[in-house]
Amino acid sequence: MKHEFKGARIEPRKITGTISAADLIGNFFNAYNGARVAEICRLLEKKVLKENVTVGVSLTGALTPAGLGASALVPLIEAGFIDYIVSTGANLYHDIHYGLNLAMHKSSPFVDDVELRKHQLIRIYDIIFDFDVLLQSDKYVADTVGKQEFLRKLSTSELHYLMGKHVNDTEVKLGTQGSTVLGAAYRAGVPVYCPSPGDSTIGMNIAMLNVAGRGDVIIDVVADVNETAAIVLDAMLHGESAVIIFGGGSPKNFLLQTEPQLSEVLNIPVRGHDYFMQITDARPDTGGLSGATPHEAVSWGKVNPELLPNAVVAYVDTTIAMPLMTAYTLAKCQPRKHKRLYDKRGVLLDQLKAKFRENNK
């Protein structure tokens, strides 16, 4: 009986200077949150990154300013390991800096912010950049979303796909190819959603167009709810659904609410996401969403209770975990064919509506 509690024996060996990231995670992350990161990596390798699993990723925190867009997320998108994204608008806005070849700098969290203001420098914890980076990025966003193709009602996936097309063209022009999540998502047909589109500089510039009389970009958040529900329903009908959550907040909830939207609101029976992986530094005992555990998500129907062994939470900084997870999966997993869910949105919505009619006669 006691043997069922025992995993593999811990047999430490010396770490060398030539060890790979994948070997480091696989053989030396034996306990605590290191072990949880290793569990997530093995779950991705053994079960999640298969052809029949649809993978959704949520992004919060200032990840792209730190360079994690180009260094970690773009390679995952290019390898076919991410099928759709839910992000804060801020991550998508700061992502554009790299496509424009605008400089972001390492610094210190202990610099004098009054002096920074005098020198027109902006700080995101220990990242520093010139105020002019914002001005150039704002002009680029305003000029882009002010084009005729944007001046209509559109979901955030359409907004970001069209932006990604222009960002991709800019990358080609400036020689910065592969530096943005938006550009990579456009090329791979990965839909990108933002549940709070007004809560970022992209939304601010869209609002400016209205004030300036340059046209109206109308964001259809209802379309976002239906599109993401349609993606998850299709994953359930034809395979499995996995969620990888970096941080928490609104993107986490928007990614997970697809299940109650289907089962509770639309009355379409579904089982909950099959795989749940979260990187967070938030505590669960405050009742905040960012720290909510997969066990709590079971009570909402967001996670399949029969598959809780496939639910792992690592309490660690995303800037540590994401590069390690990327290095591990690229070393251990074969690239997948891109599902190009953006191109299939119409078909998936038709399927959703048919299932709704079938279950609500």
Q: pLDDT tier at 282 (50, 70, 90 boundaries)?
A: low
Q: pLDDT tier at 210 (50, 70, 90 boundaries)?
A: very high
Helix pair 156-174, 181-188: axis angle to 10 deg:
110
Q: Are 245 and 252 in contact (CB under 8 A)?
A: yes
Catalytic residues: 302
SS3 content of the chain, % helix, strand, coil (to 5): 55, 15, 30
Residue type for position 88: T
Does residue 292 belong to any structural domain of this protein?
A: yes
Query: Judging by DSSP bridges, how do beta strands 275-280 and 127-130 pair with one another?
Result: unpaired
Q: pLDDT tier at 9 (50, 70, 90 boundaries)?
A: confident
Does residue 226 belong to any structural domain of this protein?
A: yes
Model confidence at 78: pLDDT above 60 = yes
Model confidence at 310: pLDDT above 90 = no
- CA gap 108, 86 in Å, rounded: 30
pLDDT at 289: 53
Question: How many C-beta atoms lie closer than 10 Å to residue 361's C-beta?
Answer: 4
For 268, phi then psi, to 5°, come to: -110, 110
Does residue 290 belong to any structural domain of this protein?
A: yes
> What HEC string does 310-330 produce?
HEEEEECCHHHHHHHHHHHHH
Quick one: which H or E segment has residue 250?
A: helix 249-256
Does residue 86 belong to any structural domain of this protein?
A: yes
pLDDT at 287: 58
Q: Are 253 and 65 in contact (CB under 8 A)?
A: no
Model confidence at 3: pLDDT above 70 = no
- Segment 262-277 mean pLDDT: 92
Quick one: which H or E segment has residue 308?
A: none
- Segment 53-80 mean pLDDT: 96
Does residue 113 belong to any structural domain of this protein?
A: no
Counting the structural domains of the chain, the total is 1
Q: Are 183 and 99 in contact (CB under 8 A)?
A: yes
| CATH code at position 53 | 3.40.910.10
Does residue 78 belong to any structural domain of this protein?
A: yes
Rounded to an integer, what is the distance from CA 64 to the centroid of its chain? 11
> What HEC string does 82-127 produce?
CCEEEECHHHHHHHHHHHCCCCCEECCCCCCHHHHHHCCEEEECCE
Does residue 347 belong to any structural domain of this protein?
A: yes
CA max distance for the chain: 73
Q: pLDDT tier at 309 (50, 70, 90 boundaries)?
A: confident
Q: Is the dihedral of CA 154, 202, 69, 314 positive or negative?
A: negative
Name the DSSP letter for residue 200. S
What's the chain's average pLDDT? 92
Name the DSSP letter for residue 273. B
Residue 65 pairs in a beta bridge with none
Does residue 307 belong to any structural domain of this protein?
A: yes
Residues, the chain: 361
Domain that residue 246 falls in: 30-101+150-359
pLDDT at 248: 85
